[in-house]
A and B are shown apart, each in its own frame.
Chain A
Amino acid sequence: MAEKSLMKGNEALAEAAIRAGCKCFFGYPITPQTEISAYLSKRMPKVGGVFLQAESEVAAINMVYGCAGSGIRCMTSSSSPGISLKTEGISYIAGSDLPCVIIDVQRGGPGLGGIQPSQADYWQITHALGHGDFHAIVFAPASVQEMVDTVTKAFDLADEYRMPAVILADGLLGQMMEPVAFEDTEIKMSDASKKPWAACGHGNKRKHNIINSLYLKPDELEDNVRARFKRYEDVKAKHTEAVSDYCEDADTVVVAYGSTARLAKSAVEAARKEGLKVGIVRPITLWPYPAKEIAEACKNAKNVLCVEMSMGQMVDDVKLAINCSKPVEFYGRTGGVIPKPAEILEKLREMGGKN
């Protein structure tokens, strides 16, 4: 086991990206994720990589588009309003079947909103990360160590399936320090020359590759989209992740992801001490969504509680996961307010009392 150090979530994400073989970072500063840029601006040149602060978020994501096309592992990061600006470019990247990693350290919205932690980008990140038929793989880590472990996975899956992968964090995870250890991991597929689709120069030794998302013939575009969705089925089958605790005999199951899941878990453990039969299931991937895992965790429950730092953007996905077979209630705070475990516990007492 490597030695543990205390690191801010943002800095840990940045270091993990370098260790995962990320060679180019293009970004634009925005609170609460700026430490990612700051860290990489110092570290990238030392490992022979490129750090570039672009003139805008739109420019940064298009630089990622270009860089990804050459087969080099690359990344951008931002926070909510900045992600909105990047969505056009993300759609182009998805439409061109290119791998990249995008980090969203969420803050309150809409508009410029605030700078405190939030999960109000759920709909944007999981359902509408740009125009057109496409998905990105979305990870929702819940601790600084898990963020580190997720970065390598995100780069590997992005390369394997040639699609964008998003790490959905929030201001709490980005700003907090926790102990982290960096294990030496094998870097897969980071070599651009081994990516047969990459436009990386070949000295006229093969037919040239074209990176493109424009298909003017409807049949051709439909085939292209269908082929992509076939790949998505494989991602769904192999890479859906969730973790559950105390669900077997639970009357009430909490569904929560990211930093909210750790707050909710404290509440669940406190409720167990009071004799309330409650459990928790935490989606680790938000796309693919762990519907089966949630249904399994809720199978013996009488009701379900979704907890988020938003107005309840995930509630419908939970209802679909359990086929609306039992009531799904919601507790959340928004705008940058972090729900306290005591508030969630109160809600659990209320729901437990109904049975």
Chain B
Amino acid sequence: MTNEILLAGFGGQGILFMGKMLAYFGLYEDKEVSWLPSYGPEMRGGTCNCSVCISDDPIGSPLVDTPNTLIVMNTPSYDKFINSVVPGGTVIIDSTLVDAKCDRTDINVYYVPATALANEHDMKGMANIILVGKLLKETKFTTMETVKKAMAKVIPPKKAHLIDANIKAIELGMTQ
């Protein structure tokens, strides 16, 4: 079973970092993992996405076309990817930034005003992590124990002071 995750939004929202975090959660649970960014003539503020695979078996294609998990942080990405999610899949939407409401009934869609929550809780720039918290609550793809262990590895030593803030953002997402 491979958890095929697609993360999408604008450059600068921490889409790639969120992917790295999820991949490390997988790695710390002894799973096979891969992380692949969209790379093109990208620019700051342009759209950005990232494929993450977490699997019990070696990963063939690291490219995710039909995700079973989608996190979107802007409307262009929502429009582009919402119909690619496989039936039964999970979608987490930052509803501060995406107005749309999904009318698909074969997938589980959750709306979290993550950007607004981040601003309210003095967690500016951590909307992405709040969404990871929500994903953790809904799919239980990993445990809080793994999250805490992996966080020290995900966050570079120079930014070690942000480990607690990231864990708090995850916990906030889990209350949504």
* Chain A residues near B (Cβ < 8 Å): 4-6, 31-32, 115-116, 171-172, 175-179, 262-263, 265-267, 269, 338, 340-341
Tell which of A171, A175, A341 touches B61, judged by Cβ atoms closer than 8 Å.
Answer: A341
B interface, size bucket? 20 to 34
Give the CA-CA distance A178 to B62 in the complex, in Å: 9
User: Which residues of B11-25 have CB atoms within 8 Å of chain A's CB atoms?
Assistant: 20, 23-24
**Residues of B with Cβ closer than 8 Å to A?**
20, 23-24, 27, 32-37, 39-41, 58-63, 65, 153
Give chain B nearest CB distance to A113 CB in angstroms.
Answer: 13
B79 to chain A, nearest CB (A): 22
The answer on a CB contact under 8 Å between B60 and A175 is no
**A175/B39 in contact, CB under 8 A:** yes
- Let me know if A340 and B61 touch, CB within 8 A: yes
Query: Chain A contacts of B34 at CB under 8 A?
Result: 176-178
Q: Are B33 and A175 in contact (CB under 8 A)?
A: no
> Does A6 contact B27, Cβ atoms closer than 8 Å?
yes
Residues of B within 8 A of A115 (CB): 39-41
The reply to whether A5 and B35 form a contact with Cβ atoms under 8 Å apart is: no
Residue pair A176, B33 in contact (C-beta under 8 Å)? no
Q: Name B38's closest neighbour in chain A (CB-CB).
A: A175
Are B65 and A340 touching (Cβ within 8 A)? yes
Contact among B36, B39, B61, B65 with A262 in the assembled complex (CB-CB below 8 Å): B61
Collect the chain B residues with CB atoms within 8 Å of residue A265's CB: 60
Instruction: Report how far A176 CA is from B32 CA in the complex, Å.
Output: 13
Indicate which residue in A4, A172, A340 contacts B36 across the interface (CB closer than 8 Å): A172
Known: A6-B24, A6-B27, A179-B33. A338 touches B39 (CB 8 A): no
Q: Could you say which residues of chain A place their CB within 8 Å of the CB of B65?
A: 340
Write out the residue numbers on chain B whose beta carbons fall within 8 Å of the beta carbon of A262. 58-61
A6 CA to B20 CA, complexed, in Å: 8
Cβ contact within 8 Å between B20 and A263: no
Q: Among B27, B40, B60, which residue has its beta carbon within 8 angstroms of that of A4?
A: B27
A265 to B24: give the CA distance in the assembly, Å. Answer: 25
Q: B62: nearest residue on chain A (CB-CB)?
A: A176
Q: How far is the CA of A115 from the CA of B24 in the complex (A)?
A: 27
Q: Which residues of A contact B24 (CB under 8 A)?
A: 6
Bound state CA distance, A266 and B23, in angstroms?
20
Q: B33 contacts A341, CB within 8 Å?
A: no
Is the beta-carbon distance between B61 and A266 smaller than 8 angstroms? yes
B40-A341 in contact (CB<8A):
no
Q: Given known contacts A6-B27, A177-B23, A178-B33, is B60 in contact with A266 (CB within 8 Å)?
A: yes
Within the complex, what minimum Cβ distance (angstroms) separates A282 from chain B?
12
Whether A338 pairs with B27 at a CB distance below 8 angstroms is no
Q: Which residues of B contact A266 (CB under 8 A)?
A: 60-61
A175 to B, closest residue via Cβ: B39
Q: Which of B35, B41, B60 contacts A177 (CB 8 A)?
A: B35
Given contacts A263-B60, A341-B61, contact A176 B39 (CB under 8 A): no
Measured between alpha carbons, how far is A175 from B63 in the docked complex, in Å?
Answer: 11
Q: With contacts A115-B41, A172-B63, A177-B36 known, what are 20 further pairs, Cβ within 8 A?
A: A4-B27, A6-B20, A6-B24, A6-B33, A6-B35, A115-B40, A171-B39, A175-B39, A176-B36, A177-B20, A178-B33, A178-B34, A178-B59, A179-B33, A263-B61, A266-B61, A269-B60, A338-B61, A338-B63, A341-B60
Closest A residue to B36 using CB positions: A176
CB distance from A251 to the nearest CB of B (A): 21
Residue on B with the closest CB to A171? B39
In whole Å, how far is B54's beta carbon from the nearest beta carbon of chain A?
11
Inter-chain contact A6/B39, CB cutoff 8 Å: no
Closest Cβ–Cβ distance, residue A284 to chain B (whole Å) = 16
Chain B residues in 8 Å Cβ range of A269: 60
